[in-house]
Structures are given as C-alpha cells and as structure tokens.
C-alpha cells in the first residue's frame, strides 16, 4: 500500500464532512442577520442615549425616542420593557428582548440585552 493510497478517505467520510460543513454554513447564514440587526440596534440605542434630546426628556420621553428605533429595526421590545435610570448625572437605558429563529428542525431563541449610559 502506497502513501497516497493510505491518505485517501473513503467516499462516505468525505460526503459526511461536506454535509457537516454545509450544515454549519446554513446555521451561520440563518443566525447572522439577527446578530447584525442587534449590533446595529445596540449602536443606535447608544446614539439615542447620547443625544441632547434624550438628556432633556423625561423617562417616558426617552422611551418614546427608543420606541421609534425599535419599530425601525423591527425589534420585539414593548414600551414598558425599556428601563431608564438616572444616577449621578448619568442617563442609563437597558433593554431585554428575544428573537425566535426557526432553523427547520430546531427553533432557537436568541436573547439580547442592549444597554447604554451617557453623561
């Protein structure tokens, strides 16, 4: 048996390897848009909290500013789920939400916790 023959994999191992890699790519492609949307939404939350309008608004005003962005990004957050805090002259905002992703044979809930603080 030559060295080249001993390195060849049986066909079923090659097919199985490509099937596993294909499955991983499919899961990545299904989850990536949700994570990218969360990244953009988190950046927007920080921008809203740092805006002058947020510092002059009361708690409900800050929530209203954020709810406009929630609708823009289609994030499943309700008005009452936005926590606004004021401590030592800092404005803080915390949100929690979950996005349901159906992967065909499996359904996964991705939980996100964007938050921002500004002086």
- For 57-109, how does the pLDDT look when each residue is reduced to its tens digit (9 = 90+)? 888 888 999 998 898 898 999 888 899 988 888 889 999 999 999 888 889 99
pLDDT at 12: 84
* Parent domain of 86: 32-118
Answer whether residue 80 is part of any domain: yes
pLDDT at 101: 92
Is residue 73 within 8 Å of 44, Cβ to Cβ?
A: yes
- Answer yes or no: is pLDDT of 2 > 80: no
Answer whether residue 61 is part of any domain: yes
Map residue 110 onto helix, strand or coil. Answer: strand
72 vs 68: CA distance, rounded Å: 6
pLDDT band at 5 (very low <50, low <70, confident <90, very high): low
Closest C-alpha to 68, from 54, 55, 56: 54
Number of folded domains that form the chain: 1
Closest C-alpha to 51, from 62, 59, 41: 62
- Answer yes or no: is pLDDT of 13 > 60: yes
Answer whether residue 21 is part of any domain: no
Average per-residue pLDDT for the chain: 88
Which is more confident, 88 or 112? Answer: 112
Q: How many CA atoms lie within 13 A of 109 on its CB side?
A: 5
């Amino acid at each position: 048996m030559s060295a080249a023959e001993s390195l060849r994999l049986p066909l079923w191992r090659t097919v199985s390897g490509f099937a596993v890699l294909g499955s991983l790519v499919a899961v990545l492609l299904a989850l990536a848009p949700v994570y990218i949307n969360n990244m953009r939404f988190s950046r927007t939350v920080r921008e809203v909290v740092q805006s002058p309008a947020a510092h002059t608004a009361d708690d409900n005003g800050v929530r209203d500013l954020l709810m406009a962005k929630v609708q823009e990004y289609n994030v499943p957050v309700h008005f009452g789920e936005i926590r606004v805090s004021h401590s030592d002259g800092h404005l803080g905002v915390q949100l929690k939400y979950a996005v349901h992703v159906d992967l065909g044979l499996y359904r996964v809930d991705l939980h996100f916790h964007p938050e921002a603080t500004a002086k």
